[in-house]
């Protein structure tokens, strides 16, 4: 007998690189290029030293109340965690417990299969259509639950509320988790699954402060669902670690939600940069889906994505490349400031020209 035979052996999720010390243009982890609302820094500075010696509120009540008021739901419908990764992991552990396979798209957030493996939840993927959209009919089957992001990652494609509802309606016997990490960037017509909550007790909508609220470093995520679902989630969380969210994160989250004008202003700015970048990339021979998130998923008609990825990295421009079936000729490029996008576009233009000449 070897002790290593008893180890929980997992293949971990690979997060995007966080280069330190090198001056790079970082467009690889969908971070927001702008600072959080000014009130966030203010709130953090106001924390008194003696507050740090106490445990934070394990229920994160003040933040939950603030989010409940913002979304027009009850506090008992809100669950918070250390980024939406923590919230999603807790939700997998809580709701995907039937022994039947859970379902998610073949091209999607690459943490889902990692959690499924970690928690020994059987899973099956459902192939997206050729254009990377979801066919809701694929989810009309007896299963252990469903999870998908909307907009999807890494494609950026937004599904309509009808498609989302069709999936939820088809699965009254299982939890359906809609991961809305990027929904704030969906703009006009981007309807959240929150609008369905009143009608479906089995629907959980997961959100994050990491992207649209520029707070990836604070690790704030939350879920909204029926009171019943949230109570089950709380029970699992309190069976695992009571003090998940630290005090500064709870305070920072509240301050962010309180400044709606700043939030909307930055969203408009980012969406406008995204749309301009789409036009420019189109001019350079890139094809892409109509991303409604804060990243673009692009492929070039002549140059392999891997080659571009490496050339960009060499030039200090970090984007994301996934060596995976169906998407290994795409780059995922986060939307940064106008200046960062100009540097990227100028590099690509030069590179494409240089390649034609040689």
Q: Please identify, using beta-carbon distances, which residue of 109 and 330 lies nearer to ligand PMP.
A: 109
Q: Please identify, using beta-carbon distances, which residue of 152 and 202 lies nearer to ligand PMP.
A: 152
- Which tokens hold the place of 358? 């040689």
Q: Verify binding: residue 109, ligand PMP, rule CB under 6 A.
A: yes
Which range touches ligand PMP (CB under 6 A), out of 79-87, 159-167, 231-239, 256-264? 79-87
Tell me if 16 sits within 8 A of 31, measured CB to CB: no
Binding-site string for ligand PMP from residue 189 to residue 208, where x marks contact by CB under 6 A and - marks none? -------------------x
Which of positions 217-236 make contact with ligand PMP (CB under 6 A)?
221
Tell me if 252 sits within 8 A of 61, measured CB to CB: no
- Which tokens hold the place of 125? 């993927």
Q: Find the DSSP H helices in 177-259.
A: 227-237, 247-258
3-state secondary structure 283-334: HCCEEECCCCCCEEEEEECCCCHHHHHHHHHHCCEECEECCCCCCCCCEEEE
# of chain residues touching ligand PMP (CB under 6 A): 12
Q: Please identify, using beta-carbon distances, which residue of 60 and 303 lies nearer to ligand PMP.
A: 60
Q: H/E element holding 68?
A: helix 61-71
Q: Verify binding: residue 249, ligand PMP, rule CB under 6 A.
A: no
Among 77, 80, 84, 294, contact with ligand PMP (rule: CB under 6 A): 84
Q: Please identify, using beta-carbon distances, which residue of 208 and 273 lies nearer to ligand PMP.
A: 208
Q: Verify binding: residue 27, ligand PMP, rule CB under 6 A.
A: no
Q: Verify binding: residue 149, ligand PMP, rule CB under 6 A.
A: yes
Among 33, 56, 83, 190, contact with ligand PMP (rule: CB under 6 A): 83
Which is nearest to 303 in space by CA: 331, 335, 340?
331
Q: How far is the CB of 200 from ligand PMP (least distance, A)?
A: 21
Which range touches ligand PMP (CB under 6 A), out of 52-60, 83-91, 117-125, 255-263? 83-91
Q: Please identify, using beta-carbon distances, which residue of 56 and 151 lies nearer to ligand PMP.
A: 151
Q: H/E element holding 112?
A: helix 112-118
Q: Please identify, using beta-carbon distances, which residue of 15 and 304 lies nearer to ligand PMP.
A: 15
Tell me if 258 sits within 8 A of 70, measured CB to CB: no
CA within 13 Å, CB half, 11: 6
Among 210, 214, 244, 250, contact with ligand PMP (rule: CB under 6 A): 210
Query: To the nearest 10°, the Cα dihedral for 181, 183, 184, 187?
Result: 160
Q: Verify binding: residue 105, ligand PMP, rule CB under 6 A.
A: no
Q: How far is the CB of 284 from ligand PMP (least distance, A)?
A: 26
Binding-site string for ligand PMP from residue 152 to residue 181, where x marks contact by CB under 6 A and - marks none? -x-------------------------x-x
CA within 13 Å, CB half, 1: 3
Tell me if 305 sits within 8 A of 330, measured CB to CB: yes
Could you give the C-alpha distances from 286 to 283, 330, 352, in angstroms and in order? 7, 10, 11
The residues binding ligand PMP (CB under 6 A) are 83-85, 109, 149, 153, 179, 181, 208, 210, 216, 221
């Amino acid at each position: 007998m070897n002790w290593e035979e008893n180890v929980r052996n997992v293949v971990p999720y690979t997060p995007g690189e966080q280069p330190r010390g090198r001056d790079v243009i970082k467009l690889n982890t969908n971070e927001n290029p702008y600072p959080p609302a000014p009130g966030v820094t203010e709130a953090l500075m106001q924390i008194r030293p003696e507050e740090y010696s106490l445990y934070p509120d394990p229920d994160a009540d003040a933040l939950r109340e603030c989010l409940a008021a913002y979304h027009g739901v009850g506090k008992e419908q809100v669950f918070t965690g250390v980024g939406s990764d923590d919230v999603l992991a807790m939700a997998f552990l809580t709701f995907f417990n039937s022994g039947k396979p859970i379902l998610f798209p073949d091209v999607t957030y690459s943490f889902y299969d990692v959690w499924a493996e970690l928690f020994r939840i059987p899973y099956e993927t459902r192939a997206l259509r050729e254009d990377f959209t979801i066919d809701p009919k694929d989810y009309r089957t007896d299963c252990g639950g469903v999870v998908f992001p909307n907009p999807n990652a890494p494609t950026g494609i937004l599904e309509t509320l009808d498609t989302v509802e069709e999936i939820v309606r088809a699965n009254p016997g299982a939890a359906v988790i809609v991961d809305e990490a990027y929904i704030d960037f969906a703009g006009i017509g981007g309807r959240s699954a929150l609008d369905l909550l009143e009608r479906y007790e089995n629907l959980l909508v997961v959100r994050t402060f990491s992207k649209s609220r520029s707070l990836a470093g604070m690790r704030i995520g939350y879920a909204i669902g029926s009171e019943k679902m949230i109570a089950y989630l709380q029970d699992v969380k309190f069976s695992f670690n009571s003090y998940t969210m630290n005090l500064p994160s709870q305070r920072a989250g509240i301050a962010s939600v309180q400044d709606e004008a700043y939030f909307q202003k930055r969203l408009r700015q980012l969406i406008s940069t995204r749309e301009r970048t789409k036009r420019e990339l189109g001019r350079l021979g890139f094809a892409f889906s109509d991303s409604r998130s804060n990243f673009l998923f692009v492929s070039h008609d002549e140059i392999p994505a891997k080659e571009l990825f490496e050339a960009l990295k060499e030039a200090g421009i970090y984007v994301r490349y996934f060596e995976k079936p169906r998407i290994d000729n795409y780059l995922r490029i986060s939307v940064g400031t106008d200046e960062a996008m100009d540097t990227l576009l100028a590099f690509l233009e030069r590179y494409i020209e240089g390649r034609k000449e040689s």
